[in-house]
A and B are shown apart, each in its own frame.
Chain A
Amino acid sequence: MDQQTRLFLQQRDLNFAKKGINSGLLAGAAWGLDGVLMGMVLGLAPFTNNMSLFAAPLVGACLHDGFAALWLFINNVINGKWRDYARTLKTKPAKMIMLAAILGGPIASSGNLLGIYFAGASYTAAITAAYPAIGAILGFIFLKEEISLRVWTGIAFAIIGSFIVGFTPPEGTNNPNFYLGLGFAAVAAIGWAIEGVISTYGMDLVDSDIAIGIREATSFFVYIFVIIPLCGRTAYQILFAALATPSGWYIAMIGLIGGISIFSWYRAMNMTGVSRAMGLNVTYALWSVFFGWLLNNLQIKPNLIIGVVIITIGTILTIGNPKDLVHLKS
């Protein structure tokens, strides 16, 4: 192989790694925007009628994942990949991705909501912000991912920054189920981390664009056939009411942003590895501050600025040198 060809191939591998990093950054930014917009829509009718504390956000999540699944399917039709859905569903890796979807979708999201209910938003945000570290450890053990000290430091910074952004002084911990709430928050963090590792293992063989389509569809079906029925009639009332009001259609558009985010997250995990993709995805906390300020009059407090600066340093360290990304596993 001559020198020119060698350089061309090196550049090609490097471009692939850089594309993965860009996907991870896009995933974080889109997830930040998605969260701010979902928060705004959940403040509109019919989600605010106080019929049930849990039902409203779970119905919102159900609609969100359903519309995201639809947008992802349309994308796969446009790219000529849609025939791979049926072929992939019969395989073992697809079943792994479905399991990952259930863990990271309904189970982790419900854990997050129950954590907020029992332990408060601050403690829940502080615990769930640790999911990239859990994901990195699991990726290191089970996927044999190569993670340099610099990347570990970057992930730690991103988590500390997210913790500072999400943390506000707690309003008291008199709730008798406080520790149960911490447990639910831990379920959410572990669920998201395991989702990343299992789905990345599955994506060694399954195209990431198909994997994420299956992930969102599975999440939607589990919400609609398991979680919503468990919430009782109220949930159905909110669901049908949402579809008859602008709120439901706002969620349809937010589902497009959520679809772009999770599509980019799965691509990043496939292209740059679980630990790095999660370290980049957790920058959603940074983008939540920006979009919250831009769209929802979020007051910029010192803790937000400090947190954002720390997340940015963490992101730069996590990105590191893309040349290290050419081979992801040891």
Chain B
Amino acid sequence: MSQMPVKFRVVQAIYENEELSNQEILEILKKEYPLDRSVSEKGVENCLLSLKASGMIELSHVTSDNKGKLKLSYKIMDYGARRMNYII
């Protein structure tokens, strides 16, 4: 199966996994896109901010990991779920 663009994959991952965190998203992407240098903490943050501003996803809850780093969990919004037909 051919790979989908990184931003599509982020939306799909949040759609399929309720309350996925930024760190978990980064882990998924790093595993699936090992050659893409844009898959970084900063790249994922920008992607999530863009999706959030356009109403595709929303922040569901915030926790800290054992290193004190913020763990931001996201869920899909109705608009994002409707746009899934462009992905699946």
Q: Which residues of A contact B (CB under 8 A)?
A: 1, 5, 8-9, 12-13, 16-17, 79-81, 83-84, 87-88, 90-93, 203-208, 210, 270-271, 325-329
Interface residues of B in 48-66 (CB under 8 A from A): 49-56, 59, 61-62
Check B5 against A84 for contact (C-beta < 8 Å): yes
- A77 and chain B: residue at smallest CB distance: B37
Check A206 against B5 for contact (C-beta < 8 Å): yes
Question: B1-39 toward A: CB 8 Å interface, digit per residue (1/0)?
Answer: 011111110010000000000000000000001011111
Q: How far is the CA of A169 from the CA of B38 in the complex (A)?
A: 51
Check A87 against B2 for contact (C-beta < 8 Å): yes
Check A208 against B50 for contact (C-beta < 8 Å): yes
Q: Which residues of A contact B61 (CB under 8 A)?
A: 1
| Selected contact of B86 from candidates A87, A91, A329, CB within 8 Å | A91
Known contacts A328-B53, A329-B55; A204 and B5 CB within 8 A of each other: no
Instruction: Give 6 A-B contacts (CB < 8 Å), ordered by A residue.
Output: A1-B62, A13-B53, A87-B5, A205-B7, A271-B50, A328-B54
Q: Which residues of B contact A (CB under 8 A)?
A: 2-8, 11, 33, 35-39, 47, 49-56, 59, 61-62, 70, 72, 79, 83, 86-87
Q: How far is the CA of A93 from the CA of B86 in the complex (A)?
A: 7
Q: How far is the CA of A5 from the CA of B38 in the complex (A)?
A: 27
- A17 and chain B: residue at smallest CB distance: B53
Q: How far is the CA of A204 from the CA of B56 in the complex (A)?
A: 7
Q: How far is the CA of A188 from the CA of B38 in the complex (A)?
A: 36
Known contacts A84-B6, A205-B83; A9 and B62 CB within 8 A of each other: yes
Q: Which residues of A contact B56 (CB under 8 A)?
A: 204-205
| Selected contact of A83 from candidates B8, B36, B52, CB within 8 Å | B36
Q: Which residues of B contact A13 (CB under 8 A)?
A: 49, 52-53
Q: How far is the CA of A176 from the CA of B6 in the complex (A)?
A: 53
Check B5 against A16 for contact (C-beta < 8 Å): no
| A-B interface, 5 closest residue pairs, ranked by CB to CB distance from nearest | A80-B37, A80-B38, A329-B55, A81-B38, A87-B5
Check B38 against A79 for contact (C-beta < 8 Å): yes
Nearest CB in chain A: distance from B67 CB, A: 15
Check B5 against A210 for contact (C-beta < 8 Å): yes
Q: How far is the CA of A203 from the CA of B54 in the complex (A)?
A: 9
Check A5 against B62 for contact (C-beta < 8 Å): yes
Q: How far is the CA of A271 from the CA of B54 in the complex (A)?
A: 8
